[in-house]
Amino acid sequence: MMEQTLYEKVGGEQAIEKVVEYFYHELVLKDDTVSHFFKNTDVKKQIGHQTKFISFALGGPKQYTGKSMAKAHEGMNIQPAHFNAIATHLHDALAHFGVEEADIDTALTKVASLRDDIQYK
C-alpha cells in the first residue's frame, strides 16, 4: 500500500482551505507584528493562493501558478522575526485542526526551505 501524502492525510484541499482561513482570520490578521503586510491585500484571493501553495507543499496536486516566492515578497523586507511569526501561526493553525506534531514539523520544514526566497526581499 502506498503511503499517504501529507496533503491526503490532512484531508485534501478543502481541509487545507479551512486551515488557511483560520491562519489568516484568527492568527495573522490579529497579530500586529505581521498584519501590516496584508493591509492592502485581497484576503479572499490570498487565501485561495495560499491554499493552492500549501496543498502543493504538502504533496497535493500542483495547482499553484502564482509568482515565485522571491517575486511575491519583493519590497516587503520581511525580517526573521516576521518569518518566524508566520511559521508559528501556521503551526498553530494546523494544530488547531488536529494535525499531528510530526506532520506539522514536516510542513514547517518545507516552509523553512523557502526562507531565503522570502526574507530581506
* pLDDT digits 0-9 by tens, 20-62: 999 999 999 999 999 999 999 999 999 998 898 888 888 888 7
Per DSSP, the three-state class of 96 is helix
In this predicted structure, the answer to whether residue 1 has a pLDDT above a threshold of 80 is no
Q: Looking at residue 68, what is its pLDDT? A: 85
Split at pLDDT 50, 70, 90, the class of 2 is low
The CATH class of the 10-118 domain is mainly alpha
In this predicted structure, the answer to whether residue 93 has a pLDDT above a threshold of 70 is yes
49 is in an annotated binding site: yes
**What is the rounded distance in angstroms from the CA atom of residue 53 to the CA atom of residue 107?**
12
State the pTM of this model: 0.90
Instruction: Please give the torsion angle defined by the CA atoms of residues 34, 88, 25 and 104, in that order, rounded to the nearest 10 degrees.
Output: 150
